[in-house]
Amino acid sequence: MRLLSFLTEIEKALQAESPAVDGGAWEAARMINFHQGMARLTLSPRLGNDFPGGAIFLQSFLLADGSQCLKANLQWQGATGSPVCAVYSTPKTHWKLEASQIASKWLEGPTAVVENTSGYAASDLQPLVAAMG
């Protein structure tokens, strides 16, 4: 599926699954760079409602086997975490369903931060590249 088409399907699913508000719950703004294979849908709450704002970032790229993958990074205003959803192109991929699932996940809002149970303090951790160098 093309990047713009997938972004449009996500936006349609957000509108369909959002609470009924005159004119919609959010003002949506799109930004697309076809050359880089990236897109952003920014959602700002309309005046008079208290819905959270945020954005959905999409990245389209080819995998080593030549198949397409779309990654969606979900972000909300004031949230620290941003989950990533990957959609892999297969003969059985239902793109509208995938877009609807991403929209639903965004509408659920940010998830709780996962507690570090490794026994190491976050300041003790370093990227793997730094550890190997």
Ordered strands of the 38-45 beta sheet: 26-33, 38-45, 54-62, 68-76, 84-88
User: Phi/psi of residue 60, each to 5°?
Assistant: -110, 130
Dump pLDDT digits (tens) for 4-39.
899 999 999 988 887 766 666 778 899 999 999 999
Letter for the amino acid at 28? Answer: A
The Cα–Cα gap between 39 and 57 comes to 6
Dump pLDDT digits (tens) for 84-126.
999 999 999 999 999 999 999 998 888 754 444 555 565 665 6
pLDDT value for 50 = 74
